[in-house]
Amino acid sequence: MHPDTTTGRMFGSTVLKAHRKVFAMLVNGALVVNLSHDRVARLIAVGQGDPFDPRHRRVSAGWVAIPITEAAAWQRFVAEARSFVAKTP
């Protein structure tokens, strides 16, 4: 784990944070990561991710759920999400 990464709780799950910003969590067996809106749209378009709906029937912009079928790439998605939130104000 990156030295600036901490953990917390959100949506009943353990989350990973960088600079107090959540960037990844496991929800219902999927890895949910915070990425740019364009990146989220591309992942959904190619079938690597699904829109993230945190139980209130409203998709969370900038968040994508990466299914277990893509688990081999989860570490890469976590690193990408950490990098993304570290760059956002």
Q: Which domain holds residue 26?
A: 5-87
pLDDT, average across residues 34-55: 93
pLDDT tens digits along 69-89: 999 999 999 999 999 998 887
pLDDT tens digits along 52-70: 987 777 778 899 999 999 9
How many structural domains are present in the chain?
1
pLDDT > 90 in the chain, percent: 66
Which CATH number covers residue 40? 3.30.1460.30
Note the pLDDT of residue 87.
86
Q: Round to whole Å and give the CA distance between 78 and 82.
A: 6
